[in-house]
Amino acid sequence: MKKKYKCVITMGCPAGIGPEIILKAAAAAKIIFNETIIFGDTTVLEFYNKKYKLNLAFNLLDTPTSNNLAADKLNIFDFQNCPIDKLQIAKVSKLAGKAAIDYIAAAVDYALNKKFNAIVTAPINKDSINQAGCNFPGHTELLAYLTNTKNIGMMLVGDYLRVLLVTTHTAISNVPKLINTAKILEIIKLADNSLKNDFAIKSPKIAVLSLNPHNGENGLFGDEEIKIIAPAIAQAQKLKINVNGPFAPDTLFPKVKNNFDCVICMYHDQGLIPLKLISFGSAVNVTLGLPIVRASVDHGTAYDIVGKNLAHCGSLIQALNLAKQIAIARYQNSKYKS
CA distance 76 to 79: 9
The predicted model gives 190-214 an average pLDDT of 96
The predicted model gives 151-170 an average pLDDT of 95
Instruction: Please report, rounded to a whole number, the percentage of residues in the chain having pLDDT higher than 90.
Output: 92
Q: What is the pLDDT of residue 66?
A: 86
Return the bridge partners of 78, or none.
40
Report residue 167's pLDDT band, with 50, 70 and 90 as the boundaries.
Answer: very high
pLDDT above 70: residue 316: yes
SS3 96: helix
The predicted model gives 228-248 an average pLDDT of 98
**Start-end of CATH 3.40.718.10 domains in the chain:** 1-149+290-338, 153-280
Dihedral sign for Cα 229, 235, 238, 243, please: negative
The predicted model gives 58-72 an average pLDDT of 93
Q: What is the pLDDT of residue 206?
A: 98
How much is the CA Rg of the chain, to the nearest whole Å?
20
Q: What is the pLDDT of residue 232?
A: 98
- Render pLDDT for 8-43 as a digit per residue (tens, 0 to 9): 999 999 999 999 999 999 999 999 999 999 999 999
Q: Which pTM was predicted?
A: 0.93
- Render pLDDT for 253-297 as a digit per residue (tens, 0 to 9): 999 999 999 999 999 999 999 999 999 889 999 999 999 999 999
- Render pLDDT for 116-143 as a digit per residue (tens, 0 to 9): 999 999 999 999 999 999 998 889 999 9
CA distance 328 to 194: 13
Q: How many CB atoms lie within 10 A of CB 127?
A: 16
Average pLDDT value for the chain: 95
Report residue 332's pLDDT band, with 50, 70 and 90 as the boundaries.
Answer: confident
CA distance 319 to 303: 21
pLDDT above 70: residue 1: no
Q: What is the pLDDT of residue 306?
A: 97
> What's at 185, amino acid-wise?
L
CA distance 73 to 66: 14
Superfamily of domain 1-149+290-338: Isopropylmalate Dehydrogenase (3.40.718.10)
CA distance 197 to 181: 24
Q: Judge contact between 88 and 55, C-beta under 8 A.
A: no
Q: Would you give the DSSP letter of residue 133?
A: T
Report residue 67's pLDDT band, with 50, 70 and 90 as the boundaries.
Answer: confident
Q: What is the pLDDT of residue 337?
A: 54
CA distance 200 to 28: 29
CA distance 123 to 242: 34
Q: At what angle do helices 181-197 and 314-337 cross, to 10 degrees?
A: 80
Q: What is the pLDDT of residue 333?
A: 77
CA distance 279 to 312: 13
Length of the chain: 338
Superfamily of domain 153-280: Isopropylmalate Dehydrogenase (3.40.718.10)
Dihedral sign for Cα 180, 186, 190, 192, please: positive
What are the backbone angles phi and psi of residue 42, rounded to the nearest 5°?
-60, -35
Return the bridge partners of 206, or none.
243, 262
pLDDT above 90: residue 46: yes
